[in-house]
Structure 1
Amino acid sequence: MKARVHVMLKDGVLDPQGEAVRHALGSLGFEGVQAVRQGKVIELELAATDKAAAEAEVKAMCEKLLANTVIEKYTIEIA
């Protein structure tokens, strides 16, 4: 079973890397970009065969390691 975790900074948390990308895009002539938020995607291959159990396991991974839940939010996709 595969899982994909999307991790992004929470709204209101400054994103200096996203701002650097926005500035660089403007320098390259893409003037219409008003804001950029940058995050990460983590793909996992799981041995679990039950979707609910897999989702619970990945949620525990996110809470313990994959996301800093103080400043980041995450979503989980199980396939």
Structure 2
Amino acid sequence: MKVEVIVGLKEGVLDPQGKAIHHALESLGYQGVQGVKVGKVITLEIAGNDTANAKKEVESMCETLLANTVIENYQIKM
């Protein structure tokens, strides 16, 4: 089964990469962009059909390795 984990910074955490992209977009003439946040998408292939068990396992992966839960939120898409 394919699982996507979307990781992004929590509200209030500075995002220098997002600010750099925002500035670059404005420099290129894209004036309508009000803000940019940068994150990451991690795609996992999980063996088996048990969605509930797979979700618990992926949550454990996120809490221990895939996301820095002090400054990042994550979302799991099964």
* TM class by smaller structure: over 0.9
Count how many residue pairs are aligned between Structure 1 and Structure 2: 78
Provide the secondary structure at the position in 2 that maps to 1:13.
Answer: coil
The aligned counterpart of 1:13 is 13
The aligned counterpart of 2:71 is 71
Question: 2:15, 2:33 → 1: CA distance?
Answer: 15
Deviations 1:22-68 (A, max 9, x none): 00000000011111001000000001310000100000000000000
Query: Tell me, which stretches of 5 or more residues in structure 2 are unaligned?
Result: none
Query: Tell me, which stretches of 5 or more residues in structure 1 are unaligned?
Result: none
Letter of the aligned partner of 2:30 in structure 1? F
Structure 1 residue ranges (4+ consecutive) displaced by more than 4 angstroms after TM superposition: none
Identical amino acids, percent of aligned pairs: 63
What TM-score do you get using the length of structure 2 for normalisation?
A: 0.98
Question: 1:71, 1:7 → 2: CA distance?
Answer: 10
The aligned counterpart of 1:32 is 32
What TM-score do you get using the length of structure 1 for normalisation?
A: 0.96
